[in-house]
C-alpha cells in the first residue's frame, strides 16, 4: 500500500516518492528523489578587504531546481544509446539530464542516480 501522506498532530505530512510523480526513463525504476532549490544567478560585491557588501540573486519563484533521482535498472538500461532521453518531467517540471551515475557494486542490484536541472524558462 502506498501512502500519500500521514496525519499527525493535526497536519498532513508528505510521505515518499509517488509512482505517478516518478520520471519515465527507459529501463529505470525510481526509488527516491532529492530536489535542491538554488538561485540561477548569485553575485557578490566585495570591498577592498574582501568583505561582502552586496548580494544579488533571483526571486524564489525563479530558482533553478537540481534533482537527483535514484533507482534500480534492468539489464537493458544503457544511457549511451541515442534513444536515451535528454531530459525528463518530474512533478510537472522539465529537467535536462546532466549526469548519470552507474556504480556497479559486487553482489548487489545496480542502483543508478540520474541528475537533472530545471531552468525556469526551459520547458521542453
Phi-psi region of 49 (alpha: psi -120 to 50; beta: other; left: phi over 0): alpha
- Tell me the pLDDT of the chain (124 aa) as tens digits: 445 555 566 677 676 777 778 888 999 999 999 999 998 888 999 999 999 999 988 888 889 999 999 999 999 999 888 889 999 999 889 999 999 999 888 888 889 999 999 998 888 8
All residues at 6 or more sequence positions from 21 whose CB lies less than 8 Å from its CB, including other chains: 33, 90, 91
Written as nine digits, the cell of 59 is 526571486
Distance CA 110, CA 31 (A): 12
> Which sequence spans correspond to the domains of the chain?
22-118
Nearest to 91 by CA among 30, 21, 19: 21
CA dihedral 60, 62, 64, 69 (to 10 degrees): 80
Q: What is the pTM of this model?
A: 0.79
Number of alpha carbons in the 13 Å side-chain half-sphere of residue 61 = 0
Amino acid at each position: 500500500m502506498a501512502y500519500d501522506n500521514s496525519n499527525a498532530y493535526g497536519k498532513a505530512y508528505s510521505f515518499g516518492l509517488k509512482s505517478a510523480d516518478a520520471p519515465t526513463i527507459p529501463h529505470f525504476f525510481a526509488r527516491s528523489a532529492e530536489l535542491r532549490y538554488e538561485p540561477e544567478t548569485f553575485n557578490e560585491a566585495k570591498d577592498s578587504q574582501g568583505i561582502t557588501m552586496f548580494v544579488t540573486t533571483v526571486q524564489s519563484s525563479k530558482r533553478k531546481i537540481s534533482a537527483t533521482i535514484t533507482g534500480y535498472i534492468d539489464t537493458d538500461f544503457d544511457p549511451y544509446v541515442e534513444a536515451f532521453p535528454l531530459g525528463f518531467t518530474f512533478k510537472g517540471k522539465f529537467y535536462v539530464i546532466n549526469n548519470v551515475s552507474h556504480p556497479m557494486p559486487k553482489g548487489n542490484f545496480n542502483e543508478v542516480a540520474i541528475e537533472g536541472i530545471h531552468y525556469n524558462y526551459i520547458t521542453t
